[in-house]
Structure 1
Amino acid sequence: MIKKLTVVITFLMTLIVFGQKKNDKDAVVDVAEKLRLAMIDPDKTTLQSLILPELTYGHSGGHIDDATEFVEKLVSKKSDFLTIDITNQNISIVGNTAIVRHHFYATTADLGKAPGDVTLDILLVWVKTGKNWKLLARQAVKAEKKK
């Protein structure tokens, strides 16, 4: 009887642990997509709901935005993304932190300038606060040229 109970408890714990990771990964995929869409069609309230106040947002050119600057640049169209395509996305979850890496290709029209193209590799750090995932950090680097 004790052996059967141990097997059942072990099985249930395994389901809970692996089921939670799957649900968390799905939630991170969803919130990353919400961020992508919010960067194309920026709304201050939506953007603020996706980030932590401590956000650090690193650009490939070296400039680092805080949460306020990140939101204001998008809302004011100083950073204007016409399109954003994300490929090769990988997600690792460690405790309440999700590490997301992806390739980022965008068409921009910053401050109404003629459209330009941006190709980057991105690192996002999401933190689970309660039931929600919030962006804590982002770093962009110029995509490595294929040989």
Structure 2
Amino acid sequence: MIKKLIFTISFLMVLAVSGQKKNDKDAVTDVAEKLRLAMISGDKSSLESLILPELTYGHSGGHIDDAAEFVDKLVSKKSVFETIDITNQNINIVGNTAIVRHHFYAKTNDFGKGPGDVTLDVLLVWAKVKNDWKLLARQAVKSEKKK
């Protein structure tokens, strides 16, 4: 009887944990899509709602933005994304942290630079704060081709 009870409790715990990871992966997928759309729109409140004040945002050219710079560049149209396509996204949940890798292809039209294409591989680190996922870090590296 005790063995059956222990087995049942263990089984239910495994189900609960695996179900939570799936829910978290779905939530991170959703918030990553919201970030993609906010980067295209340049909407300040949308951007700010998705990031932590401690954000560190690394560009492929080596410059690192803090949270205020990241938001300001998109809102002021210093950085303009006309389109952003995300492919090959991989999400790994570790406790209250989500590590997301994906390929990032964008059409840009930055202020003073004219139209361009950006092809990157990106690492995002999301932190779960209460029930929301917030962007804590991002690092991009140049990628050779669209994947």
Worse-matched range after superposition: 77-86 or 3-12? 3-12
Distance 1:123 1:84 in 2: 15
Distance 2:129 2:143 in 1: 31
Normalization by structure 2: what TM-score? 0.95
Summarize the alignment of residues 68-147 of structure 1 with structure 2, pairs less than 5 Å apart. Answer: 68-111=68-111, 113-144=113-144
Report the Cα offset of residue 144 of structure 1: 4.3
1:23-46 Cα distance to aligned partner (Å, 9 max, x none): 000000000000000000111111
Equivalent residue number for residue 62 of structure 2 = 62
State the superposition RMSD in angstroms.
1.3
- Total equivalences in the alignment: 146
Equivalent residue number for residue 25 of structure 1 = 25
Distance 1:142 1:113 in 2: 18
Distance 2:43 2:111 in 1: 17
SS of 1:118's partner is: strand
Report the Cα offset of residue 114 of structure 1: 2.9
Give the 3 Å change call, closer, same or farther, for CA 113–25 of structure 1 in structure 2. Answer: same
Distance 2:13 2:93 in 1: 18
1:100-119 Cα distance to aligned partner (Å, 9 max, x none): 00000000000164321000
Identity across aligned pairs (percent)? 80
Letter in structure 2 aligned against 1:108: T
SS of 1:115's partner is: strand
Normalization by structure 1: what TM-score? 0.95
Report the Cα offset of residue 92 of structure 1: 0.7
Letter in structure 2 aligned against 1:124: L
Unmatched runs of 5 consecutive residues or more in structure 1: none
Report the Cα offset of residue 7 of structure 1: 1.6
1:34-78 Cα distance to aligned partner (Å, 9 max, x none): 000000011111100100000000000010000000000000110
Contact in 1 for aligned 2:119/2:145 (Cα 8 Å): no
